[in-house]
A and B are shown apart, each in its own frame.
Chain A
Amino acid sequence: MGYNLLEALNVRVIGSGDRYLVLAHGLGTDQSVWQRILPLFTPSFRIILYDLACAGSVDPDYFDFSRYTSLHSYVDDLLNILKALGVDRCAYVGHSVSAMIGILASIRRPQLFSKLILIGASPRFLNDEDYHGGFELGEIEKVFSAMESNYEAWVNGFAPLAVGADVPTAVREFSRTLFNMRPDISLFVSRTVFNSDLRGVLGLVRVPCCVIQTARDVSVPASVAEYLRTHLGGRTTVEMLRTEGHLPHLTAPALLAQVLRRALAR
């Protein structure tokens, strides 16, 4: 919704440099998740930060349950932001759900993106006949009901699991942002994400991609990275990070930054 969108989604553009770099956070976090990566890129990039509509830092009133029923609405948001900022080409770093959003956005506007860097990305979280997404439908339902019955308890249990590596500050930070989300929105978005299946459309991506995958990720099995590599339509590389967990930007920012830099340079 025009300029309003920039405000609503807390869009910030920081750093100097001619190239735009979008840092898009994943589910359960907000733009603050990039804090430790940020200073390493501000000298050479103009970094666009924004919050997904579902993030805890966004006024939940903007979260229109009738609108955000699929990832396409998030894609709209992203494209609108870039449009409002007058960006005509940018590199895009997306984590988890934002990786999916980035993929879809690049299908719609291939010329807008010079590169997609997908962290902890998965085209489909649920297992299928010959696809291992990491989750069974039954499991997911259990998770959802856990979220429903006691969000706080779920957060406290889930956060260390997702963070994976033994980094208490990261767990704390992720718990904070995760808990900031309104439970019903959190649940709703989780459902949207688990309901999404990008496998069929990966081939439409033309933008070169770099898939960054940690050694062990509760949400994304390693096979998924390979799946992405073989199915994404653009030139795609896979970078394995020698760290664990779904949130390398919180647990191992320097390591991630190094890989990001390399990926952005290619």
Chain B
Amino acid sequence: MPTSVTTARQFLTEEATRALDEAVAVARRRSHAQTTSLHAVSALLSLPSSTLRDALELCVGVSLDRLPSSKSVEDPPISNSLMAAIKRSQASQRRHPESYHLQQLHSSNNNNANANGCSQTQSILKVELRYFILSILDDPIVSRVFGEAGFRSCDIKLALVRPPVTQVSSRFSRAHCPPIFLCNLTDTVSGRVGYNLLFPGHEDGIDENCKRISEVMAKKSGKSPLLVGVCALEALRAFTESSTKGKSGILDGDLAGLMVMSIEKEVNELVIEGNEEKLGLKLKEVEATLEKCNESGGVRGVVVHFGDLKGLILDGVSGDFVSHLVLKLAGLMEAYRRRLWLMGAADSVEICRKFCDKFPDIEKDWDLQLLPITSSKSSFDGAYPKSSLMRSFVPFGGLFPTPSDLKGPLSGRNQSIPRCNLCNEKYEQEVDAIMKAGSTVSVADQYSENLPSWLRMAAVDTSKGEDVAKTNSGESMLSAKVLGLHKKWNDICQRLHRTPTFPKLDINASMSQVPTVEGPQFSTDLKQRSHGDLSVNGSLFPNQSPSRQIHMQKKFLPKSTASISCTSEGRNMNFHSGLHMDVPSLTQQTDKDMPWFHHPRQSLSSCSGRTHTPSSFVPPVTTDLKLGTIYASTCQESNTTKLLNHKEHLQHLSGSVSAEFDANSETTSYQFAQSSSCSGPTSGEQFDLGDYKSIRKVLAEKVGWQDDAVNSVSQAVSQLRHRYRSSRGINCKGDNWLTFLGPDRVGKKRIASALAEVLFGSQECLVSLDLSLQDKVDHPNSIFECEELNSYDVISRGKTVSDLIAEELRKKPHSVVLLENVDKADYGVQHSLDLAIRTGKFPDSRGREIGINNMVLITTSSITKGNINVICEKKGMKFPEERILGAKNWQMQILVVSASDDAAAGKSNYTGVRVTTVKEASTCTSANKRKLINAVESSEVEKTDTQEREHKVPRSCLDLNFPVEEADEDDTGSGQSKSELLSESSESWLEELLSQVYKKIYFKPFDFDGLANKIVKEMRLQCERRVGSGVALEIDEEVMVQMLAAAWFSDKKGALEDWVAKVLGRSFAEAGQKYNLTPQSVVKLVACEGGVVKEQAPGICLPAKINLN
């Protein structure tokens, strides 16, 4: 039973009465039915000197007393915890929308007002008291004290951030005051309201996907969306459902009046039961509807939705039905352009790809555009409970002003309240900035020329409002952006400057603004410009792709077709130039309906196209398809159809063109015939299997020992060719660059020259330069030397290595360029290479550039460090590559010694073959070898003098340059990595370069030991045959190295075996005749130090004669 106020007052002192009155006032203000203790508390706290406040003060004071005192300091510094609290408050203020924005916006004004002292406001966020208190309350010291006084810090905090509670806008108040601390409060809110109600559009159930679908359809090009993604089907359903329900926002604006018709069921029946009738009827119905379509009123267009694409490519489905359907739809598309859209969904890209393989023209015929769908909306619905903070009653609410207190009565239904001046200004500034950006857009945006055709479409169309510069859609994007800004600043203004509006109404307002306020002015603009723009765009892309296409084909013509290509080349060029003229005019004629160029054949057709009829050749396709089935595999099938189409098309269009053109078409079709594009669903890159195999065969012939490398090189090259041919990824920088890493210098070089032969028709088309030349000491008589370019004189004549390279490149514009030991490149070369890989032009030291797009550049390095996984198999190797590289071309000599001479070395019983070093005592040989092995680990090529090798100290694991802290804290990283990370600049340069090349190929070391064993066996055989068994044979290691080197360098397979059989065998025989060989004698094969080979054996770099001593 409540008591009247007057009664209560009787019991109180004057002071307390005042407090009570205050409490009553509080209750009245809050229009509460009763005045409770809580009101009293609230009142007490607000009084200037209240006991309650004193009590709190006392608590704090007591706690302060407990703190230890120290020597008094002037201005005791701020404790860590307090400073942390300040930092926290800054952070939380930043997170908190209202005041931060206010501050940010007005900071400039403040600056002007108090010019001195406030200069830092812009960079430093000044914390408001409210936030300061909030964070202080978090401090454990404080919260403990409050706890003792019976308060929970979190409650107090809640009070500070209490959201403005208003009856009407509570659903939307989230935007005004976010819950920062969701402490353990029970959910008192009745009626869970989904967050998604906050979203404009969501109220109508339109989700992001639907928006994007309509975007695709609404484009000028008016593509038919093919949704891809696990949720694609769902999105498709959602779209069709909501559009049939006639929800606003989906088929609006340009798309208003469209009718969605589903042929999904009929398609299913067709596919499963082969029931063609129903589908036929349905399609007739569609056609009838289309007939009736007109621009004004009624049904303006039809969206035919065929459901899941998977249905059309099921195995066992009669292909005839499907292809019939495909053609039928394509026909409809052609006949009712701009009035008919197709729509479907696919689980994954693989399905699309299969479908496209089956029907290569489908993209164009159905006017399809892939639209990735990555989210479903279903799980979103109603999942958002409202923050429980909304209506919680907290005692300290009145302590600090919250935005709602400043708000006037909620009368603000008027949407016309504009932004305040400040916001308006900002808004205009931003719009200006965007407009400026927009105007430069069409130029800036050239990337799409590099995109695969249909991804290009996707990229263009899926772009959102902010994504400026999407060629022809630039303008509309711009208007969308401006709208976005408009809305944003309205919001900001509304929120910050407390223009009382209802978010809901605001949404409506901004929605309606979309088409009305800003829309028209841009759309008219668009119309005015559309003609000009389109033709420009149209001419830009078509020109690019076909010309490059032709170019590339020319470049990569296999040798066998070289002659044909030569004849057709000129024609191509003419063609090409004609194209520049033709296409723009065509584009203008056909205006918006000009299709994008998808495939080379298409572009060819349109460049020759006096008769521009891209899809008029539809009927022949059917027959071609059936012809195609004689091939077993599907991929071949699709290709033959491609090819046939292509031919057909060319013939169809070439009417007026002369016979030369036919020759041209033959070459091109030859190219297509070769490209039986095999696209496994898992292998990322596509390449031509046939091409790959033929390349591999050639390479493997040349370099039999590098199986893996040969495979990857051929794969890379065929991929490249494929990419140049199909319009995918044309001119990706660095695409024509390969890197060979690891040992086997000869193998690399051999492969490079084989590539030159494969790609450019001759081994002569190889430019080979060793970049380590300048720091190499000249080795006279090296076997290897004869092949190398001696650039010494050139450089000394004032030319840099870059110049040298540039010169070579200029000489052979169509070639394979092999740059060996790229890791040794000097700075100038590094710079040039850097530019070359990025720009496709190699600059010399004077800045003149040589285009390298017609070349294949191969950089090599013996470094394998980049990939730890490459197993270093060098351990235990008798003949490391470095040693072989240092082989000298000495004359050889056979010595015959009596075994008794060697008896001292304890080898009297030995009758086999030995490989020894002559200079050293034979017992030391093994030790020496061990040294060699160790030295190899440093993998340094330039070390060629084998005799001077030193034992290398293993690389230290600890790098003192590395920050100690890192080293300490990181317990998982290995020491080696650290030193690796801090690599020298040139090393990082190399890594950078290598990261841009198209492919890295790792080479295995050449198996010299295996070859050595083979040679030894062979020699022993020869020896036994020629001079009889029992005679010991000793081979000088130098000679062995020489033989190995010769075999390695030799082009001919089995050249060494031949040499052993012929030259050495003969010499053995001669020695046998000359000396009286007994089982005691030892035949030694040694090198004549200083004696240069006078006469060389054919096919191998070994002496044709061996001296006998």
Interfacial residues, chain A to chain B (CB-CB below 8 A): 1-5, 17-19, 36, 39-40, 43-44, 56-57, 59-61, 64-66, 69-73, 76-77, 79-80, 83, 88-89, 91, 100, 104, 107-112, 114-115, 124, 128, 137, 144, 148-153, 169, 180, 182-184, 188, 191-192, 194-204, 206, 208, 230-236, 242-243, 251-255, 257-258, 261-262, 264-266
Contact = CB atoms under 8 A, between A and B. Distances in A.
Given A3-B433, A70-B375, A203 B350 contact: yes
Interface in B453-504: 455, 458-459, 462-469, 481, 484-485, 488, 492, 495
A77 B184 CA distance: 35
B972 interface: yes
Given A65-B198, A258-B981, 20 more contacts: A1-B488, A2-B437, A17-B992, A44-B991, A66-B202, A69-B380, A111-B450, A192-B375, A200-B373, A201-B349, A201-B372, A208-B684, A231-B348, A236-B684, A251-B972, A258-B980, A261-B981, A262-B868, A265-B991, A266-B866
Contacts of B921: none
A219 B469 CA distance: 37
A60 B481 contact: no
Nearest to B999: A235
A202 B374 contact: no
Contacts of A40: 981
Interface stretch (B33-41, B172-180, B656-664, B1045-1053): B172-180
Interface of B: 91, 94-97, 100-101, 174-175, 178-184, 187, 195, 198-202, 207-209, 212, 228-232, 346-350, 353, 370, 372-377, 379-380, 383, 385, 387, 430, 433-434, 437, 447, 450-452, 455, 458-459, 462-469, 481, 484-485, 488, 492, 495, 681-682, 684-685, 728-729, 732-733, 834, 838, 866-868, 963, 966, 969-974, 977-978, 980-981, 985, 988-989, 991-992, 994-996, 1000
B729 A79 contact: no
Contacts of B995: 19, 91, 114-115, 264-266
Given A107-B458, A148-B182, A203 B353 contact: yes
B178 A184 contact: yes
A230 B612 CA distance: 42
Contacts of B972: 242-243, 251-252, 254-255
A61 B101 contact: yes
Contacts of A61: 97, 100-101, 492, 495
B866 A262 contact: yes
A236 B212 CA distance: 29
A83 B484 contact: no
A154 B361 CA distance: 54
B380 A206 contact: no
Contact of A255 (B174, B347, B970): B970
Contacts of B994: 265-266
Most chain B CB atoms below 10 A, which of A39, A40, A204, A253: A204
Given A70-B375, A242-B972, A108 B195 contact: no
B97 A60 contact: yes
B966 A36 contact: yes
B384 to A, nearest CB: 8
Contacts of B179: 182-184
B452 A206 contact: yes
A87 B273 CA distance: 54
Contacts of B383: 144, 191
A142 B838 CA distance: 50
30 contacts: A3-B433, A4-B433, A18-B992, A40-B981, A56-B95, A59-B94, A59-B101, A61-B101, A65-B199, A66-B200, A69-B199, A69-B207, A69-B380, A79-B467, A83-B468, A108-B463, A124-B230, A152-B182, A183-B180, A195-B376, A198-B374, A199-B230, A201-B229, A201-B373, A204-B458, A206-B452, A251-B972, A255-B974, A257-B973, A262-B867
Contacts of B866: 262, 265-266
Given A195-B379, A262-B868, A1 B228 contact: no
Contacts of B681: 203
A149 B348 contact: no
A221 B278 CA distance: 47
B403 to A, nearest CB: 14
Contact of A88 (B348, B447, B452, B728): B447
A34 B1051 CA distance: 53
Nearest to B231: A197
Contacts of B348: 199-203, 231
Contacts of B455: 107, 110, 204, 206
Contacts of B370: 204
A1 B464 CA distance: 11
Contacts of B495: 61
Contacts of A192: 375
Contact of A233 (B101, B684, B988): B684
A235 B998 CA distance: 11
A64 B383 CA distance: 18
Contacts of B380: 69, 191, 195
A66 B198 contact: yes
Contacts of B91: 56, 180
Nearest to A166: B971
Contact of A104 (B372, B468, B969): B372
Q: What are the 7 A-B residue pairs with the smallest beta carbon separation, nearest first?
A: A203-B349, A254-B973, A200-B229, A258-B977, A265-B991, A201-B372, A254-B970
A180 B200 contact: no
A168 to B, nearest CB: 11
Contacts of B451: 109-111
B542 to A, nearest CB: 18
Contacts of A200: 228-232, 346-349, 372-374
A266 to B, nearest CB: 6
A199 to B, nearest CB: 5
Nearest to B379: A195
A215 B348 CA distance: 29
A19 B232 CA distance: 36
A3 B200 CA distance: 26
Nearest to B970: A254
A231 B351 CA distance: 13
Contact of A4 (B376, B430, B838, B980): B430
B301 to A, nearest CB: 26
Given A17-B992, A152-B181, A232-B684, A204 B970 contact: no
A200 B209 CA distance: 15
A124 B481 CA distance: 31
B726 to A, nearest CB: 12
Contacts of B464: 72-73, 76
Contact of B230 (A39, A72, A197): A197
A111 B447 contact: yes
A40 B978 CA distance: 9
Contacts of B466: 1, 5, 76-77, 80
Contacts of B232: 200
Contacts of B977: 254-255, 257-258
Contacts of A109: 447, 451, 459
Nearest to B446: A88
A43 B988 contact: yes
Given A149-B182, A203-B350, A59 B97 contact: yes
Most chain A CB atoms below 10 A, which of B181, B455, B458, B466: B466
Nearest to A187: B384
Contacts of B452: 110, 206
B181 A112 contact: no
Contacts of A182: 95, 178-180
B992 A110 contact: no
Given A148-B385, A252-B972, A265-B995, A72 B978 contact: no
Nearest to A68: B208
Contacts of A56: 91, 95
A137 B376 CA distance: 14
A69 B207 CA distance: 9
